[in-house]
Structure 1
Amino acid sequence: MNEKIKKQSLNIKIAIIGCLAGIICGLFGTGGGMILVPAFIYMLDIEPKKARATSLCCMLAMVIASSFFYYKNNYINWNSGLLCAIGGIFGGYIGAIILKKVPDYILKILFIIFILYYAYRMLFVL
């Protein structure tokens, strides 16, 4: 397979991953960590720390698109959203610093624990 076809195939795969993550982001208000990070790591062979950073970059566009729809339909609680965004600025910066210092295998374990905890909460608590 020549390089041009390989690149086009990879670009299509990346666009499909982005589309699926965007749908999930719009439906559930999530997608970056849950969809993009594993897809980048296991489907595109992107190193874990780069996958996490890249997913955040991708999420910006998805969040803007879905937020516009939610805004037009008056679904946004502005007080909670803005206060959380302010906290998120600081938390995101701290998380990026921690990401640089923590080994990938520890991040993987923490991510699995996070996913399992929320899966449990969704199944049995909510």
Structure 2
Amino acid sequence: MYKKVRLNMKKIIIGILAGIVCGLFGTGGGLVLVPAFIYMLEIEPKKARATSLTCMLIMVMISSIFYYKNNYIDWKAGGLCAIGGVIGGYIGAKVLKKIPDYILKIIFILFILYYSARMIFVL
């Protein structure tokens, strides 16, 4: 019983952190959720990615309401990117089944490092 409560608390804390990241940076929370699911909750990588998308859907909707109320949304850019995102999301989900987990991990790490370096050196 105690172990289950502790695991559920861990999940809630991960969700809170992901929600904060989502709200602050507009990342969708995946930067927090995927590694947390894999390393803290020991969820297999492909299931972690799929689970994070489900969580992010709800978080993004809540953050979007706030952004909408404050007139922060560029509807033209958002709409066009959403069209590409639907296509890319479908392709990504199909490709995910064919790429080994260790390759996905390397791609994810390189992605994080690249954009972290850009943020540091471009600011």
> Which TM class, normalised by the smaller chain length?
over 0.9
Are residue 101 (structure 1) and residue 65 (structure 2) matched? no
One-letter amino acid of the structure 2 residue matched with residue 20 of structure 1: L
Residues 21 and 29 of structure 2 are in contact (CA less than 8 Å); yes or no, is this contact kept in structure 1?
no
Larger deviation, residues 6-15 vs 89-98: 6-15
Normalised by the length of structure 2, the TM-score is 0.97
Are residue 66 (structure 1) and residue 63 (structure 2) matched? yes
Q: For 2:104, what is the secondary structure of its paired residue? A: helix
2:83 pairs with 86, 89, 101, which one?
86
Residues 28 and 60 of structure 2 are in contact (CA less than 8 Å); yes or no, is this contact kept in structure 1?
no
Question: What are the superposed Cα offsets for residues 92-122 of structure 1, whole Å, 9 maximum, x if unpaired?
Answer: 0100011110000000000110001001100
One-letter amino acid of the structure 2 residue matched with residue 10 of structure 1: L
- Could you tell me how far apart the structure 2 residues matched to 1:57 and 1:14 are? 14
Residue 86 (structure 1) shift: 1.1
- Could you tell me how far apart the structure 1 residues matched to 2:28 and 2:86 are? 18
One-letter amino acid of the structure 2 residue matched with residue 26 of structure 1: G
Residue 9 (structure 1) shift: 1.2
Q: Which 4+ residue blocks in structure 1 deviate beyond 3 angstroms? A: none
Count matched residues.
123
1:121 pairs with 113, 118, 121, which one?
118
What is aligned with 1:23? Answer: 20
What is aligned with 1:10? Answer: 7
What is aligned with 2:30? Answer: 33
- Could you tell me how far apart the structure 2 residues matched to 1:18 and 1:105 are? 25
- Could you tell me how far apart the structure 2 residues matched to 1:8 and 1:92 are? 34
Q: For 1:66, what is the secondary structure of its paired residue? A: helix
Normalised by the length of structure 1, the TM-score is 0.94
Identity of aligned residues (%): 75
- Could you tell me how far apart the structure 1 residues matched to 2:31 and 2:86 are? 20
| CA-atom RMSD in angstroms | 0.9
One-letter amino acid of the structure 1 residue matched with residue 91 of structure 2: I
Segments of structure 1 that go 5 or more residues without pairing to the other structure are none
